[in-house]
Structure 1
Amino acid sequence: MKRGDSLYRRLLGWLLLPLLGLGSLILIQAWVDARRTADRAFDRLLEAASLAIAEQVQWQDDRLWLDLPPAALEMLATDAEERVFYSLVDGQGRLITGNAELPGDPRQGPGDADTLLYRHIDWQGLSLRLGVRRTRLEEWRVREPFEVRVAHSREGRDALAARLWRANLAMILAMAALATVGLLLAIRAALTPLTRLRRAIRARDPRTLAPLELSLPRELAELRDTVNELLARMRRVRANQERFIGDASHQLRTPLAGLSARAELALRQDDPTRWREALVAMQATSARTARLAVQLLSLTRLANPEYRPELVPLELNAIARQAVRDHWASCHRQGVDLGVESAGGEVRVRGIDWLLAEAIGNLIDNACRYGGQRVTVQVQDAPPRLVVEDDGPGIPSQRRLLMLRPFHRDREDVEGSGLGLAIVDGIARTHGARLQLSSGHDGRGLSVVLQFPGDTP
């Protein structure tokens, strides 16, 4: 298995992606908060500076006059060496004094109360933070309105925001490291039961199919129960295989022992006539043994769950007629009347020609062995059906399902392996057909029907 297909890596990836997204949002929020905190701190300095300047504004010689205190601007000068500007403007917007003609703020302030407005401006190629204080003189004779405009460059603000963000970044990274370690430990702990299950399966003896006895969480317990169900099915399959092998060995041992006995008996004789009789008997036994071996191979192949042959369109009348031609001579020698009744038109099914011919051959052979004197192969349409009917003694209804089991015979006094109907049943399942056993049309004999799906081309 590729390392990229690891469940551990997949869980880690899917859990880390949301954490990375959340961490990115936290970093962005930390930077926004650092900028906002730096702005609030320096806006307080702008407020203090504008207030210190406004308190020094007086009315002399019918005009506004300012005695600027040095401390008013020095409080805005930090280690970042910002540039500081100020302007004093009267109520008509005329510059009274200042070291720069700063723009005002178009927003309106409330009444006569002190109003302080802040905004960012770009002035003569500089990015400045501007504070505008709108107020008026408090003398009893004159209440002249004026504005104090103070601005400074952003170096100090940016430096403070960077320091605050770096401090937050260190804390966020530490928290992220702790979260990652906790996540790794949590995933490893969550996958521990899966590791125990894998080790328990790996440590099992490959020859045992006993169920797994392991305490697991609910999700893995369902997987354990599914594996146990699979093991139970495998135990049943193995039991069936062992029973089949035992029955097959018994069936093959009997004719092989007969061959050996016939050969040993013939070797003790000096009469060529006895030799010929022994050879004829051995030839018949060999033929039956070869037929049994072919049936065993067919049944084994059909019982294999991985055997999925490709079904092709076939014409059922042609297959039935060819099967009758192949078996007519042997039936004629036994005095059995073998015939075929074809449908009026073509009957198309999807299947495998040699398997259907094998099914018809087994049904004809069974009918001959069990005393049928008349065997008819019929092809019907709507739905497509293949019927093999004989006039033999038939099978009692309560025993018909038993006849589908391998090596099960209705009568012990008849030669045969008991595989014919089991093979036909396997062929029917391979074709998706329905197998039916019933009495003949006059209540005598046996009628075996293979009914194919009705939607076949």
Structure 2
Amino acid sequence: MSLRLRLFLVILPPLLVVSVLLGLWRFEAAQRTSEELFDRSLLAAALAISRDVAISDGDALSPSARRFISDAGGGEIFYHVTGPGGYYVTGYAYPPRAAETTDADVPSYYLATYRGEEMRVLRMIENRTIDNLTGETVVTVWQRVSDRQAFARELALRAIVLMAGLMAALALVVWFGVQIGLRPLNDLQEAIRQRSPDDLGRIRRPVPKEVAGVVSTLNRLLGQVRDSIEVHQSFISDAAHQLRNPAAALLALAETLPDVRDEKERSARQAELIAAARVSARLANQLLSLERLRYDGTAPATRFDLNELVEDVCSGLAPQVLSREIDFALERAEATLDVEGDPVLLGEALSNLVENALRHGGNGMTRIKVSTGKRGAEAVITVRDDGVGIPLDKADIAFRRFSQLENGEGTGLGLAIVEQVMRRHHGGVKLEEVRTGTCISLRVPLVGNGQA
């Protein structure tokens, strides 16, 4: 449904309801008005008849009274006059009688049936002298109710026709007025439609204040999309640069391998080829992990004991660490550390910290220690080594993608992945200050009974 039609349907129905209520009220008001007017005309006719009867001693009505009676707006007026003693003076025979006794001092109105039709009747009693007889003169005048109702309907119909015309005019005004009011939005739509897919700049076209918030939100969204695209393009550029060297190394080793005849040299070249392939595979896996962390936020959270996850990861890493003749220790917290999240991603974060220590700890490193604990409402994993260490003032560089503090083995993605994993779990990663080596802590919110 278009906005124009929606506004039309929102505005017109209430006005239509109001007009119907006004029409009903006008019909009732017309009925009351006609009743008052016709009752007054009956009273005027009765007074004119009473006057003429008194003047002419009951002989006849004056021409003006006859014209008044015949030209009454509410239809034909019937009359009946009796003089003192109740004898018939003039008018129609057998007037309608009231169902109840009326007050003789004031004119009385009532409804009665006359010749099968409902009538509105006025009965008026006055003291008059007719033919030397003095006494009560009764003047009765009546009129058809149907004539009155027809007159009231005509008044109401005129009012309804007038309101219908006004409603039709208002509907046209609203329909075309909404179109004119929505013209800035149509212009905005056309301006956006003409943009190229690469144009994510701010919308600067002036719009009504009612839609200024929508345009502001759209501008903010365009800015976020632009920033996201720039980050993604930067990531692709960095990834392509990082993949170029391992791919070139693999190609060079693969091209030279068929020409090697010496078995020892051939075995050495094969080992180098396998190592280069592992580096390329790990780099590809880390790139995929980063992309999954950026865009895959639909994985359901699992509740598990962080102690058990750390123990399983350390058991898998132990052969690799011990093969370097490095002491590898695990110190578990005594209490259960219940957390919610993705155990695979948290395990990968811990693996990256240990592997990062192995790659960059230096030849003098002799020990790697992993410990778990609790700080307030958070579970903490700490990985500490006695190797070269990372200066605190270079922590930002260490956690930046594709960044290395010094040239050497590695891709510069390990700590960046760790930071993304902890951000996904509403936790954090921190480079702790120690005298020697490196100490990095991971913080994850506790759930359930584990909270402080």
Q: Normalising by structure 2, what TM-score?
A: 0.86
Determine the C-alpha separation between the residues in 2 that align with 1:196 and 1:445: 63
Aligned to 2:8: 12
1:321 to 282, 290, 311: 311
Amino acid at match of 2:306: L
Aligned to 2:224: 233
Aligned to 1:339: 329
- Work out whether 1:389 is the aligned partner of 2:383: yes
* Contact 2:121–2:141 under 8 Å retained in 1: yes
Measured at CA, do residues 292 and 143 of structure 1 come closer, stay the same or move farther in structure 2, by a change above 3 Å?
farther
1:68-83 alignment to 2 at 5 Å? 69=61, 75-76=68-69
- Work out whether 1:352 is the aligned partner of 2:352: no
1:181-196 alignment to 2 at 5 Å? 181-196=172-187
Determine the C-alpha separation between the residues in 2 that align with 1:59 and 1:214: 89
- Work out whether 1:373 is the aligned partner of 2:369: no
Amino acid at match of 2:373: Q
* Contact 1:387–1:447 under 8 Å retained in 2: no
2:445 to 443, 450, 453: 453
Determine the C-alpha separation between the residues in 2 that align with 1:209 and 1:41: 74
Aligned to 1:409: 404
Determine the C-alpha separation between the residues in 1 that align with 2:290 and 2:234: 14
Aligned to 1:222: 213
Measured at CA, do residues 450 and 132 of structure 1 come closer, stay the same or move farther in structure 2, by a change above 3 Å?
farther
TM-superposed deviation, 1:137: 3.4
Determine the C-alpha separation between the residues in 2 that align with 1:375 and 1:220: 60
Q: What are structure 1's unaligned runs of at least 5 residues?
A: none
Determine the C-alpha separation between the residues in 2 that align with 1:154 and 1:340: 107
Amino acid at match of 1:178: A
Determine the C-alpha separation between the residues in 1 that align with 2:100 and 2:11: 50
What secondary structure is seen at the aligned counterpart in 2 of 1:23? helix
* Contact 2:38–2:74 under 8 Å retained in 1: no
Amino acid at match of 2:372: V
Aligned to 1:423: 417
TM-superposed deviation, 1:290: 0.6
Determine the C-alpha separation between the residues in 1 that align with 2:140 and 2:189: 76
Determine the C-alpha separation between the residues in 2 that align with 1:421 and 1:96: 123
* Contact 1:80–1:159 under 8 Å retained in 2: no
What secondary structure is seen at the aligned counterpart in 2 of 1:335? coil
Measured at CA, do residues 197 and 336 of structure 1 come closer, stay the same or move farther in structure 2, by a change above 3 Å?
farther
1:95-110 alignment to 2 at 5 Å? 99-103=94-98
Q: Can you list the C-alpha shifts for 1:298-331, whole angstroms capped at 9, x where unaligned?
A: 0011011x52311011111110000001111111
* Contact 1:45–1:75 under 8 Å retained in 2: no
1:273 to 264, 281, 290: 264
* Contact 2:388–2:436 under 8 Å retained in 1: yes
Determine the C-alpha separation between the residues in 2 that align with 1:78 and 1:59: 22
1:24-423 alignment to 2 at 5 Å? 24-58=20-54, 66-67=58-59, 69=61, 75-76=68-69, 85-86=78-79, 88=81, 99-103=94-98, 115-118=106-109, 121-123=111-113, 126-137=117-128, 144=135, 147-304=138-295, 307-371=297-361, 372-381=365-374, 382-391=376-385, 392-412=387-407, 414-423=408-417
* Contact 2:77–2:141 under 8 Å retained in 1: yes
Q: What are structure 2's unaligned runs of at least 5 residues?
A: none
What secondary structure is seen at the aligned counterpart in 1 of 2:122? strand
* Contact 2:286–2:417 under 8 Å retained in 1: yes
Measured at CA, do residues 87 and 448 of structure 1 come closer, stay the same or move farther in structure 2, by a change above 3 Å?
farther
Measured at CA, do residues 456 and 81 of structure 1 come closer, stay the same or move farther in structure 2, by a change above 3 Å?
closer
Q: Can you list the C-alpha shifts for 1:89-120, whole angstroms capped at 9, x where unaligned?
A: 7899x7977522422887869x8xxx54545x
The percentage of counterpart residues that share the same residue type is: 28
Measured at CA, do residues 77 and 453 of structure 1 come closer, stay the same or move farther in structure 2, by a change above 3 Å?
farther
Measured at CA, do residues 108 and 438 of structure 1 come closer, stay the same or move farther in structure 2, by a change above 3 Å?
farther
* Contact 1:317–1:346 under 8 Å retained in 2: yes
Determine the C-alpha separation between the residues in 1 that align with 2:194 and 2:234: 29
Determine the C-alpha separation between the residues in 1 that align with 2:189 and 2:298: 31
TM-superposed deviation, 1:202: 2.2
Measured at CA, do residues 455 and 273 of structure 1 come closer, stay the same or move farther in structure 2, by a change above 3 Å?
closer
Determine the C-alpha separation between the residues in 2 that align with 1:378 and 1:106: 111
* Contact 2:96–2:121 under 8 Å retained in 1: no
Measured at CA, do residues 398 and 91 of structure 1 come closer, stay the same or move farther in structure 2, by a change above 3 Å?
farther
What secondary structure is seen at the aligned counterpart in 1 of 2:445? coil
* Contact 2:321–2:328 under 8 Å retained in 1: yes
TM-superposed deviation, 1:447: 2.5
Q: Normalising by structure 1, what TM-score?
A: 0.85
Determine the C-alpha separation between the residues in 1 that align with 2:6 and 2:101: 57
Q: Can you list the C-alpha shifts for 1:230-264, whole angstroms capped at 9, x where unaligned?
A: 11111111111111111111111111111122233
Q: Can you list the C-alpha shifts for 1:126-174, whole angstroms capped at 9, x where unaligned?
A: 43223343543389x9985555332221122122223333333332222
TM-superposed deviation, 1:55: 1.6
TM-superposed deviation, 1:393: 2.9
Determine the C-alpha separation between the residues in 2 that align with 1:407 and 1:303: 16
What secondary structure is seen at the aligned counterpart in 1 of 2:417? helix
After TM superposition, the structure 1 stretch with the greater mean CA deviation from structure 2, 70-79 or 343-352, is 70-79
Determine the C-alpha separation between the residues in 1 that align with 2:137 and 2:263: 148
How many residues of Structure 1 are paired with residues of Structure 2 in the alignment? 438
> How well do the aligned residues superpose, as a CA RMSD in angstroms?
3.2
